[in-house]
Each structure stands twice: as C-alpha cells, then as structure tokens.
Amino acid sequence: ILGFSTPPGRLSVMAFILNALTCALGLLYFIRRGKQCLDFTVTVHFFHLLGCWIYNSHFPSTLTWWLVHIVCTALMAAIGEYLCMRIELREIPLNSAPKSNV
C-alpha cells in the first residue's frame, strides 16, 4: 500500500512525513539535546522496523518502504536537531542582582 502511484499510497507517505514532523517536536519537548536527536530518531525507527517485521511476519523488502523511512528518519533528525539547537543557543541571562520586593 506504501507507494507513490496510488492515492492511498500517497496518503500513507504524507502520513509518515507528518509523523516525522510531529516526532521532531517531540524531540524538542522530551529530549532537548541536539546531540541526542539522531540517536533517539534512529532508535524509534529501529523499533518501528522490528514492529513491522513482527506484525507482517517478514522483513520489509520494498524499495518504497525503505525510501520513505530513510527520508522520514533524516527529516525527523534534522528538524529535531535544528529546533533543539535553537533552544540550546539562547542567551543566558546574567542578571545577578537580587530582586527586592518593595
């Protein structure tokens, strides 16, 4: 069903891409470290591969399946790392004066 030639196949591909984008936001909120984004992304996609393998009782062998997952892995890692690096590179406030409540 995963392919580019049929409307259900294109819908599935778009769902995988949207999932990669939402998971990149998950990396931002749960991981918060740019250096760890690739590790967590590959781990999530590896567990997905194992789940697909167990569910279908055979190893995924179609080229489109692998292309979609490689693109989604790269997209999730790159966007997640970009978002995390933006948070990491914010200025640190150096206001050391104590606050006084008057």
pLDDT at residue 51, as a whole number? 96
Taking the whole predicted model, whether its pTM rises above 0.85 is answered as: no
Q: What is d(CA 22, CA 8) in angstroms, rounded to the nearest whole number?
A: 21
Please check whether residue 75 is in contact with residue 17, taking contact to mean a CB–CB distance below 8 angstroms.
yes
pLDDT at residue 94, as a whole number? 76
Helix (H/G/I), strand (E/B), else coil: 95: coil
* Cα torsion angle, 16, 47, 84, 81, sign: negative
pLDDT at residue 100, as a whole number? 66
pLDDT at residue 102, as a whole number? 62
Burial class (CB in 10 A: 0-12, 13-18, 19+), 12: middle
